Amino acid sequence: MVAVISRLYGLEHIETAEDIVSESFLQAAETWGIKGIPPNPAAWLYAVAKQKTLYHFRRNKIFEKKVIPGLKDKIEQTGNDELNFSLQNIKDSQLQMIFAVCNPVIASEAQIGLALRILCGFGIDEIAEAFFTGKETINKRLYRAKEKLRAEKIEMELPPEGQLEQRVDNVLRVIYLLFNEGYYSKTRNKILQKDLCLEAMRLCILLTENEGTNLPKTNALLALMCFHASRFDARQNPDDSFISYEEQNEELWDKGLIKKGMEYLELSMRGSEFSSYHVEAKIAGWHCIKEDTSGKWIEILSLYDQLLEFNYSPGGALNRIFALYKVKGAETALIEAQRLDYVHSHFYFLLLGKLYQEIDIEKAELNYKKAGKLARTRAEKQLISEKINNLRKGVI
């Protein structure tokens, strides 16, 4: 609804659009609580939003003096000056809003915050919890981002053909980061974690439904998210402690999502383009096969080699070392791990602890203790404590 209103009246009125939609939902909560839910709740909301929008812009001659001049070209092109809440117009509006929100002139963190607020409908409290920060910080971040949209006179439109692919890269990056905010979130709110992931997937699906943005890398990212999301419920115990991949219950994996991931991965291979999302998706796909074979880890090691050429990252380098351990053993992996020397990362010491388990139990415990000191969340500290206890019991 925010996207449709902003598409017609312009992004300079985005906060007005948010207020109108909030008021419409508030009226629904009050009215439906007394009269009951109407037969078509969405149509009811759209009708109320239309009334509130017209009332807002027409009062005090705001419409004639400030809105109409900017609308003339749009009305001439479309022949329509009314809000259109048809399914297709909603999708088109959301797609255009994605590109407006993910404009490179806006800071990266603000792009994710705007996406959560404008495109996904998350409240300020939820966004603050997702980012592990305060409401005031989020409010300031969103305010600056909206001011940037106004100052740069960003339009709600798809980029021209010559710029589309470059702009799609930025949109995919924001969706990727949004998914990661959920999947690797520090918050203990499991519902919020899952909602973040599902919203990222929904935005990516919107891109696949448009011919201009339905690119191989778009499908590759969607495949990657499907594979990861399929194991979402198997990653945590009821007490919020994390479950390592090796100990996950395969029965809790979502087989339907794994199947969809395979379908999107197949679609991503049609064409000559091969991106980092393709590599990550293939790695995630292999992790959806629980059987622990040498062939599986040889493939994963090769894929991590490719991924680090695309985009080197400490996390990717550590994961590659683990794959190397599965292929060539702890001693070979340990030599390469010590070269990395990521002494500020608890994941680095977790990996060293794992590798030393087969070589030197005392050094393994020492590294787990270092990891425990650097870990930030209670769940991580608890997992590391369990590893140390298992070492002492002789359980490897």
pLDDT band with cut points at 50, 70 and 90 for residue 79: very low
Position 314 in a domain: no
Position 108 in a domain: no
CA dihedral sign, ordered 135, 139, 145, 149: positive
Of 276 and 386, the structure prediction assigns the larger pLDDT to 276
**Mean pLDDT, rounded, of the chain:** 89
User: Nearest to residue 351, comparing CAs of 387, 386, 377, 379?
Assistant: 387
Contacts of 320 (CB under 8 A, 6+ apart): 301, 304, 305, 307, 308
pLDDT value at 162 more than 90: no
Position 304 in a domain: no
CA-based angle 64:65:67, to the nearest 5?
A: 70
Position 310 in a domain: no
Rounded to two decimals, the pTM is: 0.84
**94-105 pLDDT per residue, tens:** 999 999 999 988
Structure tokens at 319: 């994961």
Position 35 in a domain: yes
pLDDT of residue 353: 94
Radius of gyration of the chain (CA): 24
pLDDT of residue 73: 56
Q: What is the mean pLDDT of residues 26-33?
A: 95
The answer to whether the beta carbons of residues 164 and 213 sit under 8 Å apart is yes
pLDDT of residue 381: 85
Position 12 in a domain: yes
Q: What is the mean pLDDT of residues 244-249?
A: 86
**254-313 pLDDT per residue, tens:** 999 999 999 999 999 998 889 999 999 999 999 999 888 999 999 999 999 999 999 899
Position 140 in a domain: no
Q: What is the mean pLDDT of residues 52-67?
A: 70
pLDDT value at 86 more than 80: yes
Percent of the chain with pLDDT over 70: 92
Number of domains in the chain: 1
By residue range, what is the domain housing residue 67?
1-85
pLDDT of residue 396: 62
Place of tokens 């650097």: 374
CA dihedral sign, ordered 372, 375, 381, 387: negative
